[in-house]
Amino acid sequence: MDGQAGERGQAAILAAGLLLLLLVIAAVALDVGWWLHDKRDAQNDVDAAALAGAQDLPDQGAASADALAWATKNDVAPGDLQPCEFEDRTGDGQADLIRCRVERDPGSLESGLLDIGIITIKAKAAAARMRAVAGCTMPWAVIGNQQQGPPGGTWGLVPQTLYGFHTSDFVTPGNFGGLRLYGNGNNAYVDAIENPCGSSPGGCANGEPVPVGETLQCDTQTGDLGSNTDKALTWRDTHYGGGTRCDATTYGQALQKVETDPGCTASRVVLIPIIISWPPNGHGDVHILGLANFYIAGWDRKPPYKGVDVDGDTKSDLVWGYFLEDMPIIPAWEVQWGYTDDPFAPINILLVE
């Protein structure tokens, strides 16, 4: 009898030990689960705060204020968001990256069975205001002054000035030196205007984004491009929701339409390359200095537009509009992001860490 009682006692002790072990395992699992939950929350908070601040770069004061404002509005406890830091990745003396940290006590862990409250939850994120360093472009180009480029310069281009893509000479009416991007022939020219990167690769860019700083072997498209340009731009207006309401007569009007009308942004803001010069004899190397956002203020099938020289250079224009700074990229355009001080290249706000 005593032996049986001893065995029962040992079994009870073993059962109690197993029960305690199970409770410990459950407690650890609960605490780890709460910790992972809090860690995810902290990461989401700091990601969003960094993105909110990056919208204001390069203004560090405004960026810090907006990051803190987002955190406060979304119930991040006071003191959890640490002071944000900034970096200048382009070397132009202005911040283009904001790095933020969130540190908080593990409140959820303190309610766990083991009451492990000595762990500090930390999360960090960095967001950058980045510009396109390569992109699918329109089959047009504008000549820039290499000596007047960034930092501090705009290749001699002035945003408030009305620019026109005009005929090369009277012998080839309608030819304003359209590049053979993404294909050859008139069909590819139209396709490159209607569709980013075109749908028939084989031209000088082989269907890939045009990279800044590289030289492309790129023929020009000769002949009467007036009807082809009109056809393609009319298609863009119809497909992307533009229309005559998107025509602009001033730079300020173009900016206002971009800021208030998504259809005008989608149909009229296009990306064009800035080049050193046109190749001689219609073909040869084209050096890409940069990329530029251009707002198409209007166009005409057969210039001059209503008998008027729109930009005052005595040449007949097919397409005219304005170069725009600090513009976001159109979602449909294929681009590659990096750090550049090109003031005309499209911008995007991205998490980079």
Q: In this structure, are residues 157 and 142 in contact, taking their beta carbons and an 8 Å threshold?
A: yes
pLDDT at residue 230 in the model: 85
Q: What is the rounded average pLDDT of the residues 251-265?
A: 93
pLDDT > 50? residue 252: yes
pLDDT > 50? residue 173: no
3-state class (DSSP) for residue 297? strand
pLDDT at residue 123 in the model: 85
Question: Whole-angstrom Cα distance, residue 264 to residue 252?
Answer: 14
- The interaxial angle of helices 185-194 and 226-240, nearest 10 deg, is 30
Cα distances (angstroms) measured from residue 310 to each of 16, 225, 233, 299, 320: 92, 19, 18, 10, 8
Cα distances (angstroms) measured from residue 129 to each of 37, 60, 118, 314, 351: 29, 12, 37, 40, 9
Question: Whole-angstrom Cα distance, residue 124 to residue 208?
Answer: 34
Per-residue pLDDT tens over the stretch 5-48: 555 555 666 666 666 666 666 555 555 555 556 778 888 888 99
pLDDT at residue 147 in the model: 93
3-state class (DSSP) for residue 277? coil
pLDDT > 70? residue 4: no
Question: Whole-angstrom Cα distance, residue 317 to residue 163?
Answer: 9
Cis upstream peptide for 151 (omega within 30°): yes
pLDDT band at residue 75, thresholds of 50, 70 and 90? confident
pLDDT band at residue 85, thresholds of 50, 70 and 90? very high
pLDDT band at residue 169, thresholds of 50, 70 and 90? very low
Question: Whole-angstrom Cα distance, residue 329 to residue 294?
Answer: 11
